[in-house]
Structures are given as structure tokens and as C-alpha cells.
Amino acid sequence: MKSNQFLLTAGALLALLAAPASAQKLAPMAKMASCCARPVAATEAFAMLASNKDFSGGHDAPLPYSYDGVGAPIEFKTADGTPGHGFEIKSATPSNKYLFVIHEWWGLNDYIKKEAATYAQELPGVNVIAVDLYDGKVATTPDEAGKLMGAVSTDRATAILKGAEAYAGPHAAFASVGWCFGGGWSLQEALLGGKQTVGCVMYYGMPEKNVERLKSLNTDVLGIFATQDKWINPEVVAQFQKDMAAAGKKVTVKSYDADHAFANPSNPKYQQDAAADAHKLALAYLKTKFANAKIIKKA
């Protein structure tokens, strides 16, 4: 059943994600939403996990870290009138290729800036923008992160991403990468980018379950997951593969014997070998996508 058919409590969502697909169909905790529920409800549903103590307890506070490398804050216009913000590392040579980096539930902290800088160094000729979906707020504790993630408005986050696309310009080629909360939004960014989208990497993020929306993807997807993940679990991943197949789109799935957030070096569940291998896959994928990118002007 499609994600835009239900509004779930955090507890109901956790039960649904952990249950087999057959049990999900019969789950009495799901409540019917209106026919006009927003099509990106998958991200809203994931944000609702913010109030789940088990989810919050699985994310220890990040270790202190300060980034002092290249890059600069940027501000751009959005359709709702409130400026959007990000952290940009420009290519050494003028380029219409852009990688949008989307943060975890902590916000656009220095760890994400470091990730953006790493991709900028490894992808010459590509501009990298770490997009801020929290409007300048950064969490340092799970409680703070939960409140920020739970307060995310789909309309506002969409306006920010569309504003970043406009900042890049109508002749730009977009790819995206994100983790956890940002993993789900990386897929949403790929959908929002339309014909300008050339690639999408999502790390253990909530998949879009609306097959009709998935049909509009202009790219395949690289999905990186963890078999021990209680929320984006193997059943959720398997359903995503089925939905992508039904939409006629390709998804390459790589699952590691690890837990949620295994690629985050500030998390005690960090697995260096798995994280390094996942990054290698993501980098190779993005290099190929940008190398083959054809800049198409939006209608």
C-alpha cells in the first residue's frame, strides 16, 4: 500500500516497518488519510520516528568536531519567500554539475561540511552544496535532533530544495546524496529535479512508496542499507525494490551487516570498513553519472 494512503503514529510506523509485508497490509494501527494526502508522506512518516525513544536511543550524540576547510555559506531564494541556506564548495573550474549533500537528523553540522568537502575533492568539476533543511538549526543531542526532525515541514523542505535547484540554474545537472533523514530526502530531491536529475544515492533513508511518483524519476538509484536496521529494515528495502521495478526504474541495493547510521564516524555504531566500501561505491556511481551527464534545460 502506498505511503500517501496513511498517517501513522510513531509507534505504529515502527511496528509496520519491522513487520513482514503481509502483516503490514493488515496492520490495524494504520489510519486512513484523506485522498489529498501529500505525495512525499514517506519523509513525513520517517520524521515521526523522532518521538520514538528506541529510535532516539539508537543515535548517540555526535562527538565534537570542527570543520575549517574550504567552502562558504550561501543563501538563495525560495518560493515561500523565506531564504534557503546551504554550504557550497565551488568547482575550481566553472561547471553546471551540482551534487546536493543532504544532512542526517543532526542538521548541517561540521561533519556534513566535511563530507561535502570530501566529495568536492573527489569529484573535480562538480560544485557541491550541502543543503540545510533545518533553516540554520543544528542539534547536539538526540532530544534536540528529534525535535528538529519531527518539526520538518514537507512544504518548507521542498521549497528549500527547489530553491537550491534554481540557484544551480536551468542548465545544471543534479545528483544527490544523503544519510538517514537525508537519505529519504535525497530520493525526494531526485524526484523534484525532474529531467535535470542525473543521479541519486540514498543511505538508509525512507523510500518513496508511491509508484506513480517513482515513474517520474530521471535516473536510477543507488541504495545503501544496513541489515540490522530496525527502521529501514530488509522488508522495507525489498518493498522498495518491488516498487521501483513496478515503476520501470532501476535501483542498485547494497546492504551491509551493520546497524543504522553505520557510515557516520561520530556514531558508536560506525563500521569503518563498511563505511569505506559504501563510500567507494557511491563515489564510483557519482563519477559515472556526472561523466555521462547531459545538461537539459527545464521546460
pLDDT single digits (tens) 214-260: 999 999 999 999 999 999 999 999 999 999 999 999 999 999 999 99
**What is the C-alpha to C-alpha distance for residues 42 and 72, in angstroms, rounded to an integer?**
31
R_g (Cα) of the chain, nearest Å: 18
Tell me which amino acid residue 157 is: A
Look at residue 78 and give its three-state secondary structure: coil
pLDDT of the residue at 52: 67
Cα–Cα distances in angstroms (integers) from residue 152 to residues 52, 53, 82, 218, in the given order: 16, 18, 15, 26
**What is the C-alpha to C-alpha distance for residues 64 and 220, in angstroms, rounded to an integer?**
36
pLDDT of the residue at 57: 57
Q: pLDDT per residue over 95-125, tens digit each? A: 999 999 999 999 999 999 999 999 999 999 9
User: What residue has cell string 563500521?
Assistant: 271
pLDDT of the residue at 296: 56
Check residues 149 and 3 and name the one with the higher pLDDT: 149
Are 43 and 250 contacting, i.e. CB atoms less than 8 angstroms apart? no
% of residues, the chain, pLDDT over 70: 81
**What is the C-alpha to C-alpha distance for residues 114 and 160, in angstroms, rounded to an integer?**
21
Helical residues (DSSP H) of the chain, grouped into ranges = 10-18, 21-26, 41-47, 53-57, 110-122, 142-150, 154-168, 181-192, 211-214, 234-246, 272-291
pLDDT of the residue at 267: 81
pLDDT of the residue at 42: 75
Q: Kindly report the backbone phi and psi dihedral angles of residue 125, in degrees, each rounded to the nearest multiple of 5, phi listed first.
A: 85, 10
Q: 3.40.50.1820, 3.30.70.890, 3.30.70.1050, 3.10.20.30: which CATH number matches 42-291?
A: 3.40.50.1820
**What is the C-alpha to C-alpha distance for residues 145 and 50, in angstroms, rounded to an integer?**
8
User: What residue has cell string 524526484?
Assistant: 191
List the chain domain ranges. Answer: 42-291
Are 176 and 86 contacting, i.e. CB atoms less than 8 angstroms apart? no
pLDDT tier at 160 (50, 70, 90 boundaries)? very high
Mind giving me the DSSP string for 127-153?
EEEEEETTTT---SSHHHHHHHHHT--
The stretch 188-204 carries a mean pLDDT of: 97
Of 266, 116, 231, 124, the residue nearest 176 (C-alpha) = 116
pLDDT tier at 37 (50, 70, 90 boundaries)? very low
User: Residue 164 pLDDT more than 60?
Assistant: yes
pLDDT tier at 5 (50, 70, 90 boundaries)? very low
CB atoms within 10 A of CB 296: 16
Burial class (CB in 10 A: 0-12, 13-18, 19+), 34: exposed
pLDDT of the residue at 3: 36
The stretch 263-284 carries a mean pLDDT of: 93
Q: pLDDT per residue over 252-262, tens digit each? A: 999 999 999 99
pLDDT tier at 44 (50, 70, 90 boundaries)? confident
Q: What is the mean pLDDT of the chain?
A: 85
pLDDT of the residue at 269: 85
